[in-house]
Amino acid sequence: MSSDPLIGTKLGNYDVIKLIGKGGMAGVYEAMQPSMNRAVAIKVMAQSLSVDASFIQRFNNEALLIANLEHAHILPVYDFGEQEGTLYIVMRYLDAGTLEDRIGEQGMPVKEAITLFTQLASALDYAHSKGVVHRDLKPSNVLVDKQGNTFLSDFGIAKSLEGGTQNLTGTGGVVGTPTYMSPEQGLGGTVDARSDIYALGVILFEMLVGEVPFTADNPMQVMLKHINDIPPSPSSLNPAITRAVESVVLKALEKSAENRFETAGAMADALQSASATGTFVAASAAGAVGPTGTMPMAAAPQPGSATMPNPVVGRGQAETPPPGMMPAGMTAGATAVPMPTGVVAEVEEPPYYAINAISEMLVEREWIGRWLQAVAVSAATFLALTRLTPLEPAQNAVLAILPGLFAYGLLNAPIPGALGAFALIFLPLLAHSPTLGLVWLAGVAIAGMQMTSREMMVFAVTLIMAGTPLGWLIPLASPWWLKNHRVAFGVAMGVIFAGLFSLALNGWPSGEGLLPVPGNIDRFKVVTLSSFDTSYLGLLDAKVWSTWFTHPGDIIMNVQQGVEALGVYFVNTKGVLLIVAAAWAIAAYVSTINRKDPSFLMRGIGVGAGALVLMVGHIFHSWAEVIAPSLFYLIGIGIACAVLSFLVTQWPIQAPPPPRKKPRKKKASAAA
């Protein structure tokens, strides 16, 4: 017997039969309407939403509006109501799958994608004309029957959550699914029909490629990518996509709403034309911001604004035809060189190098990479704890297993694992050096908000390796296996904290001058409150924390003096630690500049150039009046690390090349 209290009961005029699916805000049930002898689907809102009178009023108003939407590709709403505090909407029951089910790992054929997309766009275009904005478009909200007909569902539910009750969304008014959310939605700004156009662009990208343009380890990072990052080129992921079709997708993904398609119908028309003719009709406008632009801060919604604003009309569109495309419908006076119909143009791709057997094995077994990263996190944590709590190394070894091998590797929870490692380091810092503890906490906060798990792993490893001669391997070799911008942020953070630790903590290695440390560090003793001479479990002794409870004023004074000492260090050394950190970050980019070159020699030059950047970054030590390594020492480390990095990334263990696009043939149409 089912434990669901609704199953087997009557809700209005409907007999509830079974639960189809359930989410955080509602459950969907199959039911029977005896008077019509037909099956229906009933969406039942969560009881927690039914206690707010303003929500109930908005629910009723919007349900009535949505019930009046009559379109061949919108799932019909038959009825809505409330029974004993339970709000529900009755819809057509459709025994079908979703668009999400139809999208395979490699996407779907372009023609099929265009057919389904055109139906979806027509439904959305109609809804916008009636003043309804969906705000939660995603493939799972698009039903597809066995005949290939699409039906847009879940209209207005997310929209009705905006308004007087913030705890309905849990995000301070930001509603929607981050993976498909427009930049203005992520910023909590004004949302209109063009926000749905952006979501359509994400859906079309996924239909054609098989993956969404932006992914990350948590929803916040996904929203930040939608706001700031450049979407990848669809044709680089699926060579079957023409430049014209790609241009349609990227226009829908413009950061600024003003630069997107005016309507969903216009987008569908452009897509069909791009597929049929190989051209994308684009109008130019001054001040256009392309997809590489950054979304400006949107204005906050005004109080009392309509829950479902009408789509914005009358705005000019800013478009630039992609290189090589021939705009149709050109104005008088414009000229174009026509290409004969039927001319076939070969599109040559750059010759990438071949992957070897070792690297191919590593690429096919992603779990190996995850476990290597897990080992790196555990090793870095163990070495850090050994320097902060030197007594009882066995305790440190056991504790270091938890964030790396256990969480990062076994549980496949890299973000909690990396943050767990940072938390283990934080406790001894807080006990013995409140200044460094607070600075470290700020760094962990930045990591939690801005970094992926791999960036955190690089951060932790750099913290340990930056003070050793082999530390340069990280910015030189890691970018061949991880994305270089992931490595750059992580190594920069790791170098900064390694420099601070070598400055204030006795025994933290500085790499014989690789980290900029003044000759006299006695002035920085004020940063530490007590000696780092306990075991980790010894931190549980109340004596370690006695100053915190008996003399809190000493803690405040320690922090003030410590911050002042660190400030004086940065001023007197002319910020050389930041220069070194920047050199590490730049080297992470430079080392892969020749990644696509088939020549071993040219790829090796990239690694060598990265090593040269690192050497230049350390030349400023003498200018900044800190311990400076000799030039021969820098040259020796640079050559050694460049050679080792080349061997690790090229031969005999070879990093995988970028995804290779197969040569394709493109037929150019005649100009009008």
Indicate the SS3 state at residue 520: coil
Q: Is residue 174 very low, low, confident or very high in pLDDT (cuts 50, 70, 90)?
A: low
> CB of 100 within 8 A of CB of 150?
no
What mean pLDDT is predicted for residues 32-43? 94
Kindly report, residue by residue over 348-392, the tens digit of the pLDDT: 444 567 777 888 777 677 788 889 999 999 999 999 999 999 999
The chain-wide mean pLDDT, for the chain, equals 82
Kindly report, residue by residue over 43-99, the tens digit of the pLDDT: 998 887 777 777 788 788 778 878 888 999 999 989 998 898 889 999 999 887 889
* Residue 367 DSSP one-character state: H
Task: Residue 429: name the closest of 530, 356, 360 by CA.
Answer: 530
Place of tokens 């007197």: 572
Q: Is residue 658 very low, low, confident or very high in pLDDT (cuts 50, 70, 90)?
A: low
Instruction: Give the C-alpha distances (Å, rounded to integers) separating 76 from 123, 200, 210, 458.
Output: 12, 21, 29, 51
Instruction: Give the C-alpha distances (Å, rounded to integers) separating 91 from 76, 154, 599, 665.
Output: 6, 10, 62, 47
Task: Check whether the bond before 652 is cis (ω within 30° of 0).
Answer: yes
Q: Domains of the chain by range and CATH? A: 10-92 (3.30.200.20), 97-347 (1.10.510.10), 357-531+564-649 (no CATH)
Q: What share of the chain in percent tops pLDDT 70? A: 83
Instruction: Reply yes or no on whether the pLDDT at 127 is more than 80.
Output: yes
pLDDT score for 659: 56
Q: What is the pTM of this model?
A: 0.56
* Residue 323 DSSP one-character state: T
- What string of DSSP letters covers 212-256? -S---SSHHHHHHHHHHSPPPPHHHH-TTS-HHHHHHHHHHT-SS
What mean pLDDT is predicted for residues 318-331? 36
Cβ density class 610-633: b for 16+ within 10 Å, e for less: bbebbbebbebbeebebbbbeeeb
Q: Is residue 316 very low, low, confident or very high in pLDDT (cuts 50, 70, 90)?
A: very low
Indicate the SS3 state at residue 389: coil
Q: Give the end-to-end CA distance of the chain in Å, rounded to a whole number.
A: 69
Token output for 199: 């979501």
Report the alpha-carbon distance of residue 394 to residue 36 in Å, rounded: 73
Instruction: Reply yes or no on whether the pLDDT at 27 is more than 90.
Output: no
> CB of 377 within 8 A of CB of 421?
yes
Instruction: Give the C-alpha distances (Å, rounded to integers) separating 405 from 120, 350, 410.
Output: 46, 40, 6
Query: Which residues have a catalytic role annotated?
Result: 136
Place of tokens 């049929």: 276
Report the alpha-carbon distance of residue 611 to residue 590 in Å, rounded: 9
* Residue 304 DSSP one-character state: T
> CB of 475 within 8 A of CB of 610?
yes
Q: Is residue 208 very low, low, confident or very high in pLDDT (cuts 50, 70, 90)?
A: very high
